[in-house]
Amino acid sequence: MTHPTAAAGVFSFSPGSAVASKLEAFTKLSSDDRAALADVSKNYRFVDARRDLISEGDKPRFVHLVLDGWACRYKQLPDGKRQIVSLFVPGDFCDLNVYILKAMDHSIGAITRLKVAMITPEEMDGLTSQRPRITQGLWWHELVTAAIQREWTLNIGQRTAFERIAHLLVELYLRLKTVGRTHDHGCDFPLTQNDLADATGLTAVHVNRTLQELRKEKLIELDRKQLRILDLDRLMDVAMFNANYLHLDHEGRHLDANA
């Protein structure tokens, strides 16, 4: 069994490896597939931390693919309240097909300095018309993205602050793991407590206290933007975390990469 992708333990990542790793959680890719993904990632730009990649009201023109760094989708209310509705980590596409809409109904902001590919509709068409496995992979990506959004609705609607934050930490840890962005039991975690508050529907003060509880329970360490999961099983347990919504079980592995 050969594993041609950059794997855990490798320190440097070639551009595009995150997407490929991610899609390979669902389906096998051929080297041509991977080359096509790399090709489409060639046109990228950097966005400074805390700047918008695209803002509510803008006309969407590209599909964005996060190559490195973290970003978030957020919506703002007239009374000033802000909700982070999703988070993007390397390998995540922002909005397949958005460019058919007239205007963005939300903004996408960089959490860290961001390296992001700008893919034109034409490039996307090329990808989907010539690479069926990638097309399937993109559909899977869409479905998982939707499932994550639903899980967030559940998270905010039904879980306590403690469970909620625990759940978010597990989700992000697992997502980063599938793109090879974890080391040992830890990962970068660039969200401020304020971001965490906006993502979970809590206040920063309460997030602070809840994180202290998580630390006191010896479930996590979180310091200087570094997260370490001390007891994943127990953390998943208290979060009532059920990984089925991430659909990481290689649904499409029966597809032959060389067909």
Token couple for 137: 């992979």
Token couple for 112: 């860290």
To DNA, the closest distance from the beta carbon of 161 in angstroms equals 4
C-alpha distance from residue 206 to each of 152, 161, 243, 254 (Å):
18, 8, 26, 46
| Closest to its own copies by CB, 113 or 159 | 159
Residue 1 binds which of its own copies, DNA, none (CB < 5-8 A, kind-dependent):
none
The C-alpha atoms of residue 74 and residue 112 are separated, in whole angstroms, by 15
The C-alpha atoms of residue 90 and residue 4 are separated, in whole angstroms, by 19
Q: Counting contacts by CB under 8 A, is residue 75 touching its own copies? A: yes
Among 3, 157, 216, 258, interactor with its own copies by CB under 8 A: 157
- 115-146 in b/e burial notation, b at 16+ Cβ within 10 A? bbbbbeeebbeebeeebebbebbbebbeebbe
Under rule CB under 8 A, how many of the chain's residues touch its own copies? Answer: 47
Residue 128 binds which of DNA, its own copies, none (CB < 5-8 A, kind-dependent):
none
Q: Counting contacts by CB under 8 A, is residue 120 touching its own copies? A: no
Residue 142 binds which of DNA, its own copies, none (CB < 5-8 A, kind-dependent):
its own copies
Q: Are 65 and 96 in contact (CB under 8 A)?
A: no
The C-alpha atoms of residue 71 and residue 115 are separated, in whole angstroms, by 10
Piece of 6-14, 41-49, 79-87, 205-213 that binds its own copies (CB under 8 A): 79-87
The C-alpha atoms of residue 137 and residue 93 are separated, in whole angstroms, by 11
| Closest to DNA by CB, 161 or 174 | 161
The C-alpha atoms of residue 255 and residue 168 are separated, in whole angstroms, by 32
Token couple for 88: 């993007």
Q: Counting contacts by CB under 8 A, is residue 8 touching its own copies? A: no
C-alpha distance from residue 165 to each of 152, 171, 208, 215, 236 (Å):
11, 10, 11, 12, 11
Question: CA angle 253-259-38, nearest 5°?
Answer: 75
Binding site for DNA (CB under 7 A): 7, 160-162, 192-194, 201-206, 208-209, 211-212, 224
Residue 212 binds which of its own copies, DNA, none (CB < 5-8 A, kind-dependent):
DNA
The C-alpha atoms of residue 129 and residue 75 are separated, in whole angstroms, by 33
To DNA, the closest distance from the beta carbon of 5 in angstroms equals 9
To its own copies, the closest distance from the beta carbon of 147 in angstroms equals 5
To DNA, the closest distance from the beta carbon of 230 in angstroms equals 16
**CA-wise closest residue to 179 among 25, 2, 1, 12:** 25
| Closest to its own copies by CB, 32 or 163 | 163
| Closest to its own copies by CB, 143 or 257 | 143
Q: Counting contacts by CB under 8 A, is residue 171 touching its own copies? A: no
Q: Are 16 and 34 in contact (CB under 8 A)?
A: yes
To its own copies, the closest distance from the beta carbon of 209 in angstroms equals 18
Contacts to its own copies by CB under 8 A: 56, 73, 75, 77-79, 81-83, 85-86, 95, 97-98, 100-103, 105-106, 136, 139-140, 142-143, 145-147, 149-154, 156-159, 200-201, 240, 244-245, 247, 249, 251-252
